[in-house]
Structure 1
Amino acid sequence: MALFTFKLPDIGEGISEAEIVGWHVKVGDRVEEDQPIADMMTDKATVEMESPVAGIVVRLAGEPGDQVAIGAMLVEIEVEGEAVAAPSPSEAEVPGAVGIEAATPTSVRPEPVEGPSFSSSAVAVEKVEGFDRLSPNGGEVATSAVLASPAVRARAKELGIDLSQVKPTGDRIRHADLDAYLLYGQGQGYRPAGRSAKRADETVKVIGMRRRIAENMAASKRHIPHFTYVEEIDVTALEELREQLNAGRGAGENGRPKLTMLPLLIVAICKVLPDFPMLNARYDDEAGVVTRHGSVHLGMATQTDAGLMVPVIRDAQDRNVWQLASEIRRLADAARTGKAKSEELSGSTLTLTSLGPLGGIATTPVINRPEVAIIGPNRVIERPVFRGKDIVAAKLMNLSISCDHRVVDGWDAASFVQAVRKLLEAPAFLFVG
């Protein structure tokens, strides 16, 4: 028997270290060649590492939340044959590949895999064989296969929850389903009238994507003097136009996306930005340099099971409303399923964040550093307004913008929003060159 050292390879993003998000193995486990052994997180994505050899795991680099340097030991595996060490990242023939090619105890080398395999931990799923359970009213629910992500399975294990007893609200068990199980117990959904639900205290280690979000938000608030400006916009005509466009193009049919407010808002933003170049910018505060970008690479803040991600619409200024709607849907799906590529999650010059139907009256969004501005549309509500001496029903929406006061003056931010407002309240001008 001999010891094989698998070193963390260069994942191909110019990083110096990666965070352990979760282990698929433990000391004493037998692993096979190409078997997943760990999920490692970089700044942009989660990479699933695979074992290049078969053997018994004898040592792991650390616990979830720990950082491992590129080239450092990730796993030690006891194998048959002579002792062999995996090559350093610079020696590997296929940097960034899942299961990086390494010298194995035999003369046969595994075929390299093309490029890194990025997958959010919220995507990988494990089937839990079909089970019978009781619905809240006592009726029997048909046996079916249930899916759960590694993060959900890990949390369920920590809480001592049998996933076969958890009722999913969708296509797989999510964290919200675990919460419901903790609140209501088996059956999920029944609570005796007049009694408040009890739940056990829970300690959750902040790691992975959630830790990245926490660090980025803390850095943004620590370094950037934010200010927020909010304006009310009458979107009655815009909503009528949107409904007409959807009806005229058969939205939702043949794969054509249904237009929401966002593509129309993006068109307005892109038409106005050339007059306000200081908003479509990134600020390197260490170098003291502001880069004003000519193209609009619009970040779309997207909520996923793993946390908030910001996929980027490249060259948004060159796309029409239908193209924008398609790209919004594609990027959101990619982010939520963990299929977004690294280059699709970086390089934004301005970010748009929306809570959809939960939009609230007004928001004070936090800037996506090193950008200098972030825009947040809020919920559309219908209220009576005066039109001359008449009172009519109007659809109103507040539009929020947070800016970096080191780069953007309040007058400029307000003037920008007012220019966007004029286009949204007279939407025919959105389609005039």
Structure 2
Amino acid sequence: MAQVLEFKLPDLGEGLTEAEIVRWLVEVGDVVAIDQPVVEVETAKAMVEVPCPYGGVVTARFGEEGSELPVGAPLLTVAVGATEAPAPPAPSAAPGSSASGASSADAPAAGESSAGSESGSGNVLVGYGTGAPAARRRRIRPERVGTPAAPAPVPEPVPVAVPAVAGEVNGRQGPVAVVSPLVRRLARQHEIDLRRLTGSGPDGLILRADVDSAIRRAEEAARAQTRTAPDGPAVAEAPTAGAAAPAAAAERIPLRGVRGAVADKLSRSRSEIPDATCWVDADATELMAARAAMNAASGPSGGPKVSVLALLARICTAALARYPELNSTVDTAAREIVRLPGVHLGFAAQTERGLVVPVVRDAHTRNAESIGAEIARLTELARTGKLSPAQLTGGTFTLNNYGVFGVDGSTPIINHPEAAMLGVGRIMPKPWVHNGELAVRQVVQLSLTFDHRVCDGGTAGGFLRYVADCVEQPAVLLRTL
């Protein structure tokens, strides 16, 4: 006989206490194997798939997509030992036939969820079967005749039955592929049916742009409908004179998941760290020429190209070796500055899920090509939402390339508990005095925000000046290569 076990949301590490259900990977009635992923959740650090430690038939799921569960809350129940879903109940007897011949076959099979009907005498079978989704729906069992049995105790956690939707999604069976819970929430707020959308992302992934387009189409259709009422004269869109226009409702977006974690960290950084910022303009013409020469020397098939961000990251590791005060953290409880032995370089990356900071481990031991390859790998994981919590924590210094947004300068907030962040603006042609003459050069603005507790302005200025010198004269780096 199968044993029904409850699987709870496990501790996902890194001090995380809750997670949001992004997508269920199994339905009630599905047969699952041990360590098979059953749900995709989003934490404050990353989006992860949670495997189930039991093998059997899923009998109940707890929580809908978009809901938030604390660690230790029930996720689902599994009938361990069962190899197939419970069989559907026999059809009800015809009217007028005797019900006294009801046998033990009417008892609920393993994995069924029972509940009272409106009259308190019926049982409900939820989500049985693994066939077509249309077959997995609620069925009301016939009322028993005879001596009523004692009412079964109501379990404390009530399973949330999530019926499957019949039909195909964008030409294939399965759940709707959405890039993030924010997109899913936006669709719910505007009553957009995701199953009617064709995603423009890889493999039909539904992006925010797809939902925004659907919202615009719905609004245009609504406006067109109000212009001309059916079987009547044209209706003016403008409100009548003297009538007050209805106030638009404010949109409320919960601060949770990645956005909530970012908000908490930035608030803590502002409240704890006495930061200061210095900046300098640098002539990056020689750096761009050196990068072009590196990539040309590698040939068409000589490996990946070296990016500007990789070169700037390598310059940062060389500068931190000369100014280790900025590769540190402050232990406020012990009132100590802790200088860290290695450089774990974080870099800001903007994704559909928000701002994340992947970390290049042991960046001080890597060359520009190795750093560039690791940045490319982590960036791809960030875009697909597959970064693990370990890849987003443990940084000692952050490089923020906000120039990709067309911005010249910024005063960034330090990524707590680090001590400094280097900001890089866009590289663009500007008039510049070069060798005593006015010329058009590739100029970039560099800004350094630092924790004034770990160093004074002289150290921060020396660090930033060294970075600018390496940008203007890449040969300076030869001393540390």
Matches for 1:384-423 after TM superposition, within 5 Å? 384-387=431-434, 389-423=436-470
Matches for 1:122-141 after TM superposition, within 5 Å? 128-130=169-171
Bigger strand fraction = 1
Q: Provide the aligned C-alpha RMSD in A.
A: 3.5
Q: Provide runs of 4+ in structure 1 moved above 6 Å.
A: none
Matched, 1:430 2:477: yes
Q: Given the superposition, is the C-alpha separation of residues 55 and 328 from structure 1 closer, same or farther in structure 2, using an over 3 Å criterion?
A: closer
| Cross-structure match for 1:142 | none
Matches for 1:31-180 after TM superposition, within 5 Å? 31-33=30-32, 38-50=39-51, 52=54, 53-57=56-60, 59-60=62-63, 64=66, 66-70=68-72, 72-75=73-76, 81=110, 128-130=169-171, 147-149=177-179, 151=181, 152-163=183-194, 166=197, 168-171=199-202, 172-180=205-213
Q: Given the superposition, is the C-alpha separation of residues 410 and 65 from structure 1 closer, same or farther in structure 2, using an over 3 Å criterion?
A: farther
For residue 385 of structure 1, report the CA deviation from its aligned partner.
1.7
Matched, 1:17 2:20: no
| Cross-structure match for 2:305 | 258
The alignment partner of 2:333 has SS state of coil
| Cross-structure match for 1:246 | 295
**Aligned equivalents of 1:24, 1:8: Cα separation in 2:** 13
For residue 278 of structure 1, report the CA deviation from its aligned partner.
1.1
Out of 192, 201, 206, the residue aligned to residue 255 of structure 2 is: 206
| Cross-structure match for 2:286 | 237
The alignment partner of 1:204 has SS state of coil
The alignment partner of 2:394 has SS state of coil
The answer to whether the Cα contact below 8 Å between 1:242 and 1:261 also exists between their aligned partners in 2 is yes
Matched, 1:311 2:358: yes
Matched, 1:346 2:393: yes
Q: Deviations over 1:162-192 (max 9, x none)?
A: 346546554332113322432455999xxxx
Long gaps (5+) in structure 2:
81-108, 113-167, 222-247
| Cross-structure match for 1:193 | none
Identity of aligned residues (%): 32
Matched, 1:8 2:55: no
The alignment partner of 1:407 has SS state of coil
**Aligned equivalents of 1:66, 1:294: Cα separation in 2:** 39
| Cross-structure match for 1:365 | 412
The alignment partner of 1:369 has SS state of coil
| Cross-structure match for 1:295 | 342
Out of 319, 326, 329, the residue aligned to residue 279 of structure 1 is: 326
Q: How many residues align?
A: 360
TM-score of the two chains, using structure 2 as the length reference? 0.66
For residue 382 of structure 1, report the CA deviation from its aligned partner.
0.5
The answer to whether the Cα contact below 8 Å between 1:381 and 1:395 also exists between their aligned partners in 2 is yes
**Aligned equivalents of 1:42, 1:153: Cα separation in 2:** 16
TM-score of the two chains, using structure 1 as the length reference? 0.72
Matched, 1:181 2:211: no
The answer to whether the Cα contact below 8 Å between 2:284 and 2:472 also exists between their aligned partners in 1 is yes
**Aligned equivalents of 1:263, 1:16: Cα separation in 2:** 32
Q: Given the superposition, is the C-alpha separation of residues 16 and 215 from structure 1 closer, same or farther in structure 2, using an over 3 Å criterion?
A: closer
Question: Match of 1:149, as an amino acid?
Answer: V
**Aligned equivalents of 2:427, 2:358: Cα separation in 1:** 24
The answer to whether the Cα contact below 8 Å between 2:45 and 2:257 also exists between their aligned partners in 1 is no
Matched, 1:219 2:268: yes
The answer to whether the Cα contact below 8 Å between 2:44 and 2:259 also exists between their aligned partners in 1 is no
The answer to whether the Cα contact below 8 Å between 2:409 and 2:445 also exists between their aligned partners in 1 is yes
Structure with max Cα Rg: 2
**Aligned equivalents of 2:199, 2:220: Cα separation in 1:** 11
**Aligned equivalents of 2:427, 2:25: Cα separation in 1:** 49
**Aligned equivalents of 1:82, 1:186: Cα separation in 2:** 45
Q: Given the superposition, is the C-alpha separation of residues 161 and 334 from structure 1 closer, same or farther in structure 2, using an over 3 Å criterion?
A: same
The answer to whether the Cα contact below 8 Å between 1:356 and 1:378 also exists between their aligned partners in 2 is yes
For residue 352 of structure 1, report the CA deviation from its aligned partner.
0.7
For residue 48 of structure 1, report the CA deviation from its aligned partner.
2.5
Q: Deviations over 1:245-274 (max 9, x none)?
A: 111213xx5482222211211222222212
Long gaps (5+) in structure 1:
84-126, 132-145, 189-198
Q: Deviations over 1:356-375 (max 9, x none)?
A: 43141101111111101111
The answer to whether the Cα contact below 8 Å between 1:65 and 1:207 also exists between their aligned partners in 2 is no
Q: Given the superposition, is the C-alpha separation of residues 216 and 63 from structure 1 closer, same or farther in structure 2, using an over 3 Å criterion?
A: farther
Q: Given the superposition, is the C-alpha separation of residues 256 and 408 from structure 1 closer, same or farther in structure 2, using an over 3 Å criterion?
A: same
**Aligned equivalents of 1:55, 1:213: Cα separation in 2:** 35
Which sits farther off after the overlay, 34-43 or 386-395?
34-43
The alignment partner of 2:427 has SS state of strand
**Aligned equivalents of 1:354, 1:364: Cα separation in 2:** 12
